[in-house]
Amino acid sequence: MNQEKKLEKVLESALSDDLTEYVALLKLLKKRLPFFGATKRIAAALLKESLGDISRLDISPDRFARKQAAGSVVFEDIKDGRARLFINIGKNHGISPGDLIREVVKRSGVDGKQIGKIDIHPTYSFLEVPEQYAELVLLSFENVKIKGVPIVIEPAKKRKKNA
């Protein structure tokens, strides 16, 4: 299999496969490296092992930009590079900002420090994530329950301006 096909396969797996066992293994491996950035170094080492020499591979940012498929998700409320998401769980369900951050990190792998403003209302919440991870976050919450509540997460509608 050529390098480009391997990379596409890796990306598809990252988006759609259950990688729970691999994440657990990664956490164990990470403990063996005594410095910050261990996860990135392990991922880079795995790519090197899998792909070999990449000196002739086109690794320009445009090459790996996500292609917009017909009917793909449209994010209406984007500000400063962050997409605002609606989630159907709130204060009445006993949810806290920390709970939402932990769930996003656990399910999508997005760094919790990259999660922006979180607004928790009685029965729903809004959270902001970097635009490039918004669709990943949506996909990672399919068929999920939090505190017994079946979760619906979707792009937030554009905020209405007060007249």
Q: Tens digit of pLDDT for each residue in 35-78?
A: 777 888 888 899 999 999 988 888 776 666 555 454 467 788 88
Higher pLDDT, 64 or 114: 114
Would residue 92 count as lying in a domain?
yes
Average pLDDT, the chain: 85
Note whether 83 and 151 are same-domain residues: yes
Would residue 71 count as lying in a domain?
no
Would residue 89 count as lying in a domain?
yes
Per the structure, the complete domain to which residue 33 belongs is given by 3-64
Note whether 89 and 150 are same-domain residues: yes
Note whether 37 and 98 are same-domain residues: no
Note whether 48 and 87 are same-domain residues: no
Note whether 83 and 60 are same-domain residues: no
Q: Are 155 and 134 in contact (CB under 8 A)?
A: yes
CATH assignment at residue 144: 3.30.70.330
pTM of the model: 0.56
